[in-house]
């Protein structure tokens, strides 16, 4: 939807409609509900403040997600210390499931994803967990759509091979903590990624 920069109400409505997706994306990036909500709130503020720079006719969701992604990596670059994962807090924030194997399967996926190259892991998370289209991820990562499709395809193929070969690494993180931890590994690896301009 194209916005008239003088029409703050229309921009506000469209931005407000994106809040649930922003929160989901932020929580996926942060791997933590509270930090994700803080990132989504910061993204809202930055998007509202920069609304005059939004180009009418372009994808608002991709524009906002790029702001949030850049904010996330900027904060990671500035923080030279990171706190260890609070196991007790992670367990308290997990959603209960009726499938007792779900936590184990998610933990296996988390560990298998550690074997993926950073760019493939990021593309897979943005498309799979973030619900973004290939076009939106390409815009956020400042690369061609075909590059993102290739990264996601290679990531899926590599994961299938990892599972087929049963070459999933082990670690000391409990399967019940997989939801809280799946992206903390990704965050640490993501610090060295080249940011979108």
pLDDT at 94: 52
Phi, psi of 116 (to 5 degrees): -85, 150
What kind of fold does domain 8-78 have according to CATH? Rna Polymerase Sigma Factor; Chain: A (1.10.1740)
Asked if 8-78 and 87-190 have one fold, the answer is no
Tokens 């184990």 map to which residue? Answer: 104
Instruction: Give the gyration radius of the chain's Cα atoms.
Output: 18
Per mean pLDDT, which of 105-109, 184-188, 190-194 is the most reliable? 105-109
Mean pLDDT of 79-92: 54
Rounded to the nearest 10°, the torsion over CA 85, 87, 91, 92 is: -80
Q: Where are the domains of the chain?
A: 8-78, 87-190
Mean pLDDT of 162-171: 82
| 118-136 per-residue burial string, b: 16 or more CB within 10 A, e: under 16 | ebbbbbbbbbeebebbbeb
The architecture in CATH of the region 87-190 reads Orthogonal Bundle (1.10)
Query: Which residue from 64, 49, 51 is spatially nearest to 18, judged by alpha carbons?
Result: 64
Q: Mean pLDDT score of the chain, rounded to an integer?
A: 75
Per-residue pLDDT tens over the stretch 43-68: 999 998 988 888 877 888 889 988 98
d(CA 114, CA 123): 14
pLDDT at 188: 41
Cβ–Cβ < 8 Å for 46, 71 = yes
Residue 10 pLDDT exceeds 50? yes
Q: How far is CA 152 from CA 14, 120, 134, in A?
A: 29, 6, 9
The CA angle 182-141-76, to the nearest 5 degrees, is: 50
Task: Label residue 152 by pLDDT band (50, 70, 90).
Answer: very high
d(CA 75, CA 109): 27
- Fill in the DSSP letter of residue 148: H
Residue 139 pLDDT exceeds 80? yes
């Amino acid at each position: 939807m194209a916005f008239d920069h003088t029409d703050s109400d229309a921009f506000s409505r469209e931005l407000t409609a994106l809040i649930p997706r922003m929160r989901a994306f932020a929580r996926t990036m942060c791997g933590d509900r509270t930090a994700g909500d803080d990132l989504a709130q910061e993204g809202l503020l930055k998007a509202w403040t920069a609304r005059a720079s939004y180009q009418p006719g372009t994808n608002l969701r991709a524009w906002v997600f790029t702001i949030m992604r850049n904010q996330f990596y900027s904060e990671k670059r500035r923080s030279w210390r990171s706190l260890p994962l609070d196991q007790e807090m992670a367990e308290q924030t997990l959603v209960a499931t009726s499938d007792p194997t779900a936590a184990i399967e998610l933990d296996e996926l988390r560990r298998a994803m550690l074997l993926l190259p950073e760019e493939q892991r990021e593309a897979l998370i943005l498309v799979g967990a973030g619900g973004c289209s290939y076009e939106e991820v390409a815009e956020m990562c400042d690369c061609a759509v075909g590059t993102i499709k290739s990264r996601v395809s290679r990531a899926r193929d590599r994961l299938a091979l990892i599972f087929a070969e049963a070459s999933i690494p082990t670690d000391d993180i409990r399967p019940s903590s997989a939801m809280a931890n799946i992206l903390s590994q990704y965050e640490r690896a993501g610090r060295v990624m080249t940011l979108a301009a």
